[in-house]
Amino acid sequence: MARGSRKVAIIGAGNVGATCAFVLAERKIGEIVLLDIFEGFAKGKALDMSQGGKILNYDGKIIGTKDYADIAGSEVVIVTSGFPRQPGMSREDLIGKNAEIVSQVGEGIKKYAPESIIIMVTNPLDLMTYHMQKVTGFSHKKVIGQAGILDSARMTHFVADALGCSNEDVQAMVLGGHGDTMVPLPRYTTVGGIPITQLLSREEIEAISTRTANGGGEIVKLLERGSAFYAPGSAAAIMAESVLNDRRRLLPCSAYLNGEYGMEDVYIGVPIILGKNGVEEIIQLDLKEIEINKLQNSGSFYKEQLQSILQY
């Protein structure tokens, strides 16, 4: 693909947005637009990243802006604008502040990039993805949330650490909402094709699952200001790449359910095929009763919370 022939917009030039832009730049994905309400912040990061091109051998155009007209023609828009958690906060504590931001951003995307596919990162993720779809009126298949890739990557790290093996051979699967109710699936987590249930004890798997579910909180506590961004920003970039190159990767993402897994009218993390049309397919796993119950509990938790975003 020729230089600059693809265009990706990233809304929010903060920690997650800038990390995502940097990963995409390094992967030579095309033109990148970084948009933030603080224009200088977006422009400064775009210029810094452009200059880094010589060092890391990329040269696609990267611009910073606060003007939504600049996102016109973007095939993918990644939304990272909004407040991160502080110690002691749950992701759901961010609803009030971030729903309003998502409403504003959604209007801009609807006007200037009506054909785009939207990848949400702003928390609380599953609720903000639902809200973005409502604000834009885009097809549900074109509004997707990033969370499962990150949660699975966290689980992968803990498994690789416990076994003293490479990340590369670990394939973890974490479904459900991006919060305390997430559902790590040890039966579907393998190392070189071998389920971890054959490699680790029940206690070790339990500890890994718990640490995965608290993965974001552990980092918030350590950072003391703000939340994780290297892994979340990279995960959003990988989703964008799967869409732009129509790779049809099978990835856990927050997708709209309309009967799948026995749930309706809710966004929640499930395995999907991610391609040029967004959600190409939702993969329905054959879950055991205890697993499906956990997934449905997670879905119910977010469905109850949907009322609280209707006012924004």
Binding stretches for ligand APR (CB under 6 A): 11-17, 36-38, 41, 80-85, 94, 98, 101, 104-105, 121-123, 226-227, 229, 232
Please say which residue, 162 or 223, places its beta carbon nearer to ligand APR. 223
d(CA 34, CA 298): 33
Min. distance of Cβ 202 from ligand APR in angstroms? 32
Please say which residue, 104 or 171, places its beta carbon nearer to ligand APR. 104
Please say which residue, 231 or 282, places its beta carbon nearer to ligand APR. 231
d(CA 90, CA 86): 9
For residue 243, report the phi and psi dihedrals to the nearest 5 degrees. Answer: -75, -50
Min. distance of Cβ 95 from ligand APR in angstroms? 11
Which residues, 6 or more positions from 57, have their beta carbon under 8 angstroms from its beta carbon? none
178 has catalytic annotation: yes
Min. distance of Cβ 233 from ligand APR in angstroms? 8
Min. distance of Cβ 229 from ligand APR in angstroms? 5
Residue pair 241/29 in contact by the 8 Å Cβ criterion = yes
d(CA 10, CA 256): 22
Please say which residue, 121 or 243, places its beta carbon nearer to ligand APR. 121
- Active-site entry in 131, 140, 157, 178: 178
- Pairing state of beta strands 278-282 and 264-275? antiparallel
d(CA 275, CA 144): 11
Active site residues: 178
